Structure 1
Amino acid sequence: MNKRVRAYALSIIGLILLSYLFFSFFRSNPNVYTDSKATGLDSEFNSLVWSDEFDGEGAINQEKWFHQTQLPPGGSWWGGIIQHYTDREANSYLKDDYLNLVAKKETFDDQGEIKQYTAARLNSKFAFTYGRIEIRAKLPTGTGTWPAIWMLNTNIDEDGAYWDNQGLGTTKWPSCGEIDILEHWGKNQDYVSSALHNASSYGDQVKNVGGQKIDDASAKFHDYSFEWSEEKMIFSVDGVEHFRYQPTIKNADTWPYDSDYYLILNIAIEPGIDPDFVESSMVVDYIRIYQ
């Protein structure tokens, strides 16, 4: 090997090694993570205040997350969904430094109700007002699956929810306010949606909604971003905005978004679930909150 070829080969090896070192550094130091699409360098919110990188194996971090399992009155979750939420590792666990939320087809008896599907519903033990959330995730697949990453006000009156258990539940839905960062229906594969529920727009007739089609939502990781200030809310995927909420009139009906909200991660199962469905997971690389 002549000197020129040897020098070229060494430079290529050096670049590969340097790239690996940079990736390892930024992966373990989210405060200095510099992907402009994932961190919004043009945002006013760039100080990391809370995160979960989901490092490790086994059970999720109980200091950061609460399993919400208590059924609403009547024995089924709102919206006609048909699963039990459990606190078992079978439905939520860490593996290879990722969070796995797993929806399964299985007979499960809990709280006097027998259901044929299980999943997990996590409440964050951290709540905040105004900031930016960055989430890197890939979504479950299958007609009838309904994964969501969303937020509720800590004042929601909902028995069994973490913040209601802390004595903060004073306000019924939808007046408390709801922020849907992302929803995905398996019957409309690869379309992701964001919405806002409040006293002026809620339920099946919600008008504050937007979304976009993305490539391989269940096969590839995508970056889901939500930015929330006193003036507006912006929802994006991979740096592409698909919904902005900035009402001209802000009052208790249109803007209950001026106090602390917490995160919820869950997979619901709709009655029209594919009969051949067995299980599918929402896999989350990280969640980072900036203010």
Structure 2
Amino acid sequence: MPPFTRGTSSLLGVVQALIVFTSLTACGNTTASTRFEGEPPPTSPWPSDIEWVQTFGDEFDGRRGRAPDRSVWVPDVGGTGWGNDELQYYTDGDNTFLDGRGNLVIEARTGSEGHKCWYGRCRYTSGKLTTRRSDDEIAFAQQYGRFEARMKLPTGTGLWPAFWLLGENIDAVGHPEAGEIDVVEVIGRRDDEVEQHAHGPGLHFGAEHILPPGQSVSDWHTYGVEWTPDEVSWEVDGSTTRTLTREEAGSGWVFDQPFFILLNLAVGGEWPGSPDSSTEFPARMFIDYIRVYGPESAP
């Protein structure tokens, strides 16, 4: 089905969201966009017993080969290296599609397809989607809440899939001042390690979470964060794996503004290194769903 959204009028004032509402027709392709702005973060504590309500989601239903809803998911295009000397060119949608079985696929392939990268003719293409249309128009962003995705991630040297969040003021203040929350990243040669990080000015928090014996990131897992005015907690399959508190972050806490969503499959770069002869292409990142929640308002 098309992305699910809910306005913020029924949420606590701590949640600020920029929501895209999708109106269905018989063909399912009529959309309308409305912006809702919440109140500033409260000084009172976050509710101790939160009742979550869904504010955004996409189940990625649709026929095989169809593009994800372009009113929400916007390709981020280019082969600039993306600050990490990455080797892929992110295409304008060719590498992102529905598989007809309820999943979004982001596919990395060998070959240039005529694209130029920072190092010359591109050796790989891949896909990157965000919920930001431009520096002054965002399809979806939210301040605080639960962000989660059920995913099956590719493994192999040089592959770098990620589900992450960036502060919506990224163009105004830059990185890391805008803040970054990495819900999950995977360095493809480490098939049992889930990277979980947060970044702000002077803040580089996080490490890897090791999956239980016999499990791999190439299996289906649910990855999430629960983000409040006082802390960010990471989860894998419903279990909390690490927590960053406001006090611990100090002046690096820049997580009191709406953040938008990013999904991508990078190839190469300083962190994962380059693919080698053992890396299999095409490499596919599967996303069963993305769901976002906020706290239900008090009676």
Q: Please point out which of 170, 189, 192 is paired with 2:191.
A: 189
Pick from 113, 119, 124: which aligns with 1:108?
A: 113
Match of residue 269 from structure 1: 267
CA deviation profile, 1:8-27 (whole Å, cap 9, x unmatched): xxxxxxxxxxxxxxxxxxxx
Task: Please tell me whether residue 141 in structure 1 is matched to residue 155 in structure 2.
Answer: yes
Equivalent position to 1:62, from 61, 66, 70: 70
AA aligned to 2:187 is: W
Deviations 1:260-291 (A, max 9, x none): 10010001111421234321111011011000
Check if 1:257 corresponds to 2:255.
yes
Deviation for aligned residue 1:237: 0.4
Q: Secondary structure at the match of 1:87?
A: coil
Alpha-carbon distance between aligned partners in 1 of 2:248 and 2:274, rounded to the nearest angstrom: 39
The two structures, once aligned, show a CA RMSD in angstroms of 2.2
State the shift of 1:119 in Å.
0.7
Cα distance in 2 between the residues matched to 1:238 and 1:250? 25
Give the counterpart letter for 1:183 in structure 2. E
Separation of aligned partners in 1, 2:193 and 2:179: 24
Q: Distance in 2 between matches of 1:219 and 1:175?
A: 33
The number of equivalent residue pairs is: 232
Measure the CA separation in 2 of the matches of 1:249 and 1:144.
32
Give the CA deviation at 1:210.
4.6
Q: CA deviation at 1:200?
A: 1.5
Instruction: Encode CA deviations 1:236-270: one digit per residue, 9 max, x unaligned.
Output: 1012221100032665x321100010010001111
TM norm structure 1: 0.74
Partner of 2:127: 120
Q: What code does the residue aligned with 2:50 have?
A: E
CA positional deviation for 1:194: 0.6
Higher fraction of helix: 1
Alignment check: 8 A CA contact 1:108 1:116 kept: no
CA contact (8 A) 2:194 2:217 kept: no
Could you tell me which residue of structure 2 aligns to residue 93 of structure 1? 97
Q: Evaluate the alpha carbon distance shift between residue 187 and residue 30 of structure 1 in structure 2; reply closer, same or farther with a 3 A threshold.
A: same
Matched residue of 1:107: which SS? coil
SS at match of 2:235: strand
Partner residue, 2:293: 290
Query: 2-side partners of 1:131 and 1:116: how far apart?
Result: 39
Q: What is aligned with 2:55?
A: 49
Q: Structure 1 counterpart of 2:167, which letter?
A: N
Distance 1:192 1:108 in 2: 32
Between the aligned residues of both structures, percent identity stands at: 30
> Structure 1's 65 and 88: CA in aligned 2 closer, same or farther, altered over 3 A?
closer
**Higher Rg of the two aligned structures:** 1
